[in-house]
């Protein structure tokens, strides 16, 4: 066994003892955006990765799931594992029906490899346009992948910076599957929620029936995690953005923790506090049930009991 790679300098490890959330997640809640990192000794990271994380394996993910009162997970292939989906698939299989996966694949993937991933519980692929995380993939390669996964009924998860949407929007509109966007399209939350950038994003969502992950307030926030007036109400500058998406698209929003929280260098969120963020963006019991249970169930476990 070769020596293990050290973590990227400044890397913050995931939060060890998350607080007990004040907000009670409804039964059947899905954490629709989380990852596994290794463990490296068992599942080595990809040579082309842009960062080396701490370990964050399936056992720790399932422990967090149970602690927060989550029922199911959607495990998204992290870029540190490249297109080697082994760790993610191992976690999805180990969850025994309580997890689905989103893979990263290359355009030359065969039909039988795709069918194996599908049988394991994979339901989509991720196209990543964030340059600090991956080198650019040619659009033709992505179109080839999209054509291959569409017949399986899979969807495509898009991760991009808000400033890049105008350039990418035409390509996104050409994709033949359902589209799901990570982290609300990464808005610049110092701009107004009804300003041109976020309004353009919402028009893209409307015009293309896009699903939106109302995730990562800790990643988008400039104000940070400070509580307001002694109330557990962190990441307040992100609330209007999440609130607007949930209000306008209640049937196409998803929630997730993003555990183990790659590439955060300023602070690491308390996952319990992330749960307590939910009722500020989904304010009614109906909005909460759709965001946390009904929507992810219809996308990832259609026809199954909550």
CA distance 245 to 202: 8
Tell me if 182 sits within 8 A of 165, measured CB to CB: no
258 counts as catalytic? yes
- From the candidates 31, 258, 270, 271, give the one annotated as an active-site residue: 258
- Terminal-residue alpha carbon distance, the chain: 43
Least distance in angstroms from the C-beta of 33 to ligand 0GY: 6
CA distance 227 to 42: 39
- Interface residues with ligand 0GY (CB under 6 A) are 35, 78-80, 133, 182, 258, 262-263
Q: How far is CA 2 from CA 7, 13, 42, 44, 281, in A?
A: 15, 23, 11, 10, 46
Those residues whose C-beta lies under 8 Å from the C-beta of residue 101, and which sit 6 or more positions away, are: 74, 75, 76, 77, 85, 88, 89, 91, 92, 117, 120, 121, 122, 123
Beta carbon nearer to ligand 0GY, 77 or 178: 77
Beta carbon nearer to ligand 0GY, 26 or 130: 130
Say if residue 32 is exposed, middle or buried (CB neighbours under 10 Å; 0-12, 13-18, 19+).
buried
Least distance in angstroms from the C-beta of 265 to ligand 0GY: 10
Those residues whose C-beta lies under 8 Å from the C-beta of residue 16, and which sit 6 or more positions away, are: none
- Quick one: DSSP state of residue 168? H
Least distance in angstroms from the C-beta of 94 to ligand 0GY: 20
Beta carbon nearer to ligand 0GY, 47 or 170: 47
Which position has the token pair 């959607």? Answer: 74
Least distance in angstroms from the C-beta of 266 to ligand 0GY: 13
Beta carbon nearer to ligand 0GY, 35 or 100: 35
Least distance in angstroms from the C-beta of 103 to ligand 0GY: 12
Indicate which residues carry an active-site annotation: 258
């Amino acid at each position: 066994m070769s020596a293990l790679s050290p973590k990227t300098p400044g890397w913050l490890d995931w939060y060890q003892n998350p607080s007990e959330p004040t907000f009670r997640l409804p039964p059947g809640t899905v954490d629709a955006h989380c990852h596994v990192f290794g463990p490296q000794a068992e599942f080595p990271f990809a040579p082309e990765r842009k960062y080396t994380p701490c370990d964050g394996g399936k056992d720790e993910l399932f422990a967090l799931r149970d602690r927060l009162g989550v029922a199911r997970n959607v495990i998204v292939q992290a870029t540190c594992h490249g297109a080697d989906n082994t760790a993610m698939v191992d976690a999805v299989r180990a969850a025994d029906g309580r997890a689905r996966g989103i893979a990263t694949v290359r355009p030359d993937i065969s039909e039988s490899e795709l069918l194996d991933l599908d049988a394991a519980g994979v339901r989509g692929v991720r196209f990543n346009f964030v340059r600090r995380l991956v080198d650019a993939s040619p659009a033709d390669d992505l179109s080839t992948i999209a054509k291959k996964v569409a017949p399986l009924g899979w969807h495509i998860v898009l991760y991009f910076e808000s400033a890049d949407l105008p350039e990418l929007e035409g390509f996104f509109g050409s994709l033949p599957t359902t589209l799901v966007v990570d982290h609300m399209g990464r808005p610049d939350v110092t701009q107004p929620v009804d300003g041109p950038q976020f309004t353009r994003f919402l028009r893209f969502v409307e015009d293309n029936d896009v699903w939106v992950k109302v995730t990562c307030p800790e990643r988008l926030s400039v104000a940070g995690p400070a509580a307001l007036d002694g109330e557990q109400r962190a990441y307040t500058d992100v609330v209007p953005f999440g609130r607007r998406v949930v209000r306008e698209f209640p049937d196409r929003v998803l929630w997730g923790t993003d555990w183990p929280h790659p590439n955060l260098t300023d602070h690491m969120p308390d996952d319990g506090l992330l749960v307590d963020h939910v009722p500020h963006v989904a304010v009614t019991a109906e909005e909460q049930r759709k965001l946390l249970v009904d929507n992810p169930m219809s996308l990832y476990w259609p026809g199954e009991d909550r």
